[in-house]
Amino acid sequence: MGKAVKNLKITYYDQDTGEILAETDPEELVKKLEWKEKRKRSKAINEFYGGKVMIFQDILKKAVKDLTEGELRVLNYMLGIMDFENWINIPQKQIAKEVGIHPVTISKITKRLAEKGYIEIYKKGRENYYRIRPEVAWKGTEREHLKILRNNNPLLDEVLKGRK
CATH number of residue 57's parent domain? 1.10.10.10
94-101 contact pairs (CB < 8 A, 24+): 99/73, 99/74, 101/70, 101/73, 101/74
One domain, residues 60 and 129: yes
Q: Is the dihedral of CA 11, 14, 18, 20 positive or negative?
A: negative
Of 113, 20, 23, nearest to 74 by C-alpha is 113
Q: Bigger pLDDT: 71 or 128?
A: 71
pLDDT confidence of residue 26: 67
- For the residues 85-111, what does the mean pLDDT come to? 93
pLDDT confidence of residue 97: 95
One domain, residues 76 and 111: yes
One domain, residues 62 and 44: no
pLDDT higher than threshold 90 for residue 37? no
CA pair distance 50, 36, nearest whole angstrom: 20
What is the per-residue pLDDT across 5-15, written as a single tens digit (0 to 9) for each?
566 666 666 77
- For the residues 89-108, what does the mean pLDDT come to? 93
Q: In terms of residue numbers, what domain contains 18? A: 10-49
Instruction: Indicate whether 81 belongs to any domain.
Output: yes
Contact 150, 141 (CB under 8 A): no
